[in-house]
């Protein structure tokens, strides 16, 4: 029979062991990972970089591939929930976000979702469990329309992608609302278009400017930019912020020299915080990340700040975010409003190559 002293020592050891054990919070990242997508890989690497550089071992990243396909969102979401995860970072397109919105609205068990890449206005102005770290589509298109309006163009030809309807349908309406000049529109499926047919359609219009209203990192937009230059070698080309990826340089050719890229972050080399992140990322992974990876990093920091304060479940995390609203991160602040939306400045970059050097 053990003595009281031995029992006491064993109890102390058990207590010490238990106190040294911290639970691990799993974070799901819904993104595009098929075929080694640079976008998805960059986002996962960004989340891992945050954990590694900050010495965090009580958070775990679990990637889920929805292919940025609206038809796969529900099944992937169900998989996440079956795995017992209730904190989700979603980087997918607006069309996917619309599917996720309906699912979350009808969810019985608490869940919290952070949106890093979907601008759809259907997410705006709702007091729900969805938080977005980028401006919505109206604010985005207002900024772009006003910028283009200052350049004194006479005829803007808009090439609009129809696949990512959750983004491009409201986007074109808001652009027209805030742009007073002359516009014409060609609607295409950017993921599946015939360049000869598109060139014939473009020849029907006089234009000195082409606005490629295309999202989702569909870098075929660079081919369209080259067609525009072929038809008018003095044309000015504008992208959306969702084309800011190194791969655009592979398809745009020399047209990139007369193109402008809106960006949620300042031009490379002008912001010390952004420079530090990019340098750390490239040193660790030896490639240039897509810009959504910065949004992922921000969200990871917001989640971690909540967990450190003991808010490691959706209910307490939502309550704390709604109370605090403003979160400082290493690459800039995030200011939520009462609906979990944010506003931010768009920067317009005319030296796109430099962004990916």
Q: How far apart are CA 333 and CA 320, in angstroms?
A: 16
User: Residue 11 pLDDT more than 80?
Assistant: no
* pLDDT 10s digits, 63-85: 999 999 999 999 999 999 999 99
How far apart, in whole angstroms, are the C-alpha atoms of residue 213 and residue 232? 19
CATH number of the CATH domain containing 67: 3.40.50.2300
Of 213, 241, 263, the domain-final residue? 263
- Global pTM reads 0.84
One domain, residues 127 and 146: no
Asked if the structure places residue 318 within a domain, the reply is: yes
| Pair (125, 194) in one structural domain | no
From 241, 263, 285, the end of a domain falls on 263
Q: Among all chains, which residue has been given the structure tokens 């080399």?
A: 269
Domain C-terminal end among 263, 284, 314: 263
List the strands of the sheet with 259-263, edge to edge: 182-188, 155-161, 209-213, 236-238, 259-263, 347-349
Residue 309 and residue 298 in one domain: yes
What pLDDT does 229 receive?
Answer: 97
157 and 113 in a single domain? The answer is: no
Tell me how far CA of residue 225 lies from CA of 158, 239, 271, 315, in angstroms: 11, 9, 29, 46
- The DSSP symbol for 84 reads T
Q: Is residue 47 domain-shared with residue 193, that is, in the same domain?
A: no
Helical (H) or strand (E) element with 90: strand 87-90
Residue 3 within a domain: no
Residues 93-116: pLDDT tens digits?
888 998 999 999 888 899 999 999
Local structure of 35: helix, strand or coil: helix
What is the span of the domain harbouring residue 226? 138-263
Dihedral of alpha carbons 189, 194, 200, 202, sign: positive
Tally of domains in the chain = 2
- Give residue-wise pLDDT tens across range 115-135: 998 998 988 998 889 999 999
Cβ contact 212:256 at 8 Å: no
What is the C-alpha to C-alpha distance for residues 69 and 243, in angstroms, rounded to an integer?
18
* Domain-located, residue 15: no
């Amino acid at each position: 029979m053990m003595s009281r002293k031995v029992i006491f020592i064993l109890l102390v050891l058990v207590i010490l062991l238990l106190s040294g054990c911290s639970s691990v919070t799993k974070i799901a990242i819904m993104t595009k990972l098929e075929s080694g997508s640079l976008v998805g890989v960059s986002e996962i690497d960004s989340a891992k970089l945050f954990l590694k550089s900050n010495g965090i071992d009580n958070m775990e990243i679990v990637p889920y591939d929805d292919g940025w396909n609206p038809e796969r969102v529900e099944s992937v979401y169900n998989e996440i929930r079956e795995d017992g995860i209730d904190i989700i970072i979603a980087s997918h397109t607006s069309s996917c976000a619309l599917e996720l919105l309906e699912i979350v609205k009808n969810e019985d068990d608490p869940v919290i979702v952070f949106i890093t890449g979907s601008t759809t206005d259907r997410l705006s102005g709702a007091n729900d469990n969805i938080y977005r770290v980028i401006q919505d589509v109206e604010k985005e298109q207002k900024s772009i329309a006003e910028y283009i309006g200052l350049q004194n163009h006479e005829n803007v030809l808009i090439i609009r992608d129809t696949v990512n309807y959750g983004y491009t349908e409201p986007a074109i309406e808001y652009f027209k609302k805030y742009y007073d000049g002359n516009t014409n529109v060609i609607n295409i499926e950017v993921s599946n278009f015939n360049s000869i047919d598109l060139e014939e359609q473009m020849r029907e219009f006089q234009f000195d400017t082409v606005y490629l209203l295309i999202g989702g990192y569909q870098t075929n937009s660079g081919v369209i930019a080259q067609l525009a230059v072929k038809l008018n070698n003095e044309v000015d080309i504008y992208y959306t912020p969702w084309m800011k990826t190194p791969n655009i340089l592979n398809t745009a050719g020399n047209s990139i020299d007369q193109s402008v890229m809106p960006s949620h972050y300042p031009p490379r080399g002008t912001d010390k915080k952004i420079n530090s992140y990019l340098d750390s990322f490239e040193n660790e992974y030896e490639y240039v990340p897509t810009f959504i990876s910065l949004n992922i990093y921000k969200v990871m920091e917001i989640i971690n700040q909540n967990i450190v304060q003991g808010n490691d479940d959706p209910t307490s995390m939502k309550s704390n975010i709604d109370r605090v609203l403003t979160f400082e991160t290493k690459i800039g602040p995030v200011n939520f409003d009462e609906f979990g939306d944010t506003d931010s400045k768009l920067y317009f970059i005319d030296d796109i190559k430099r962004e990916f050097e």
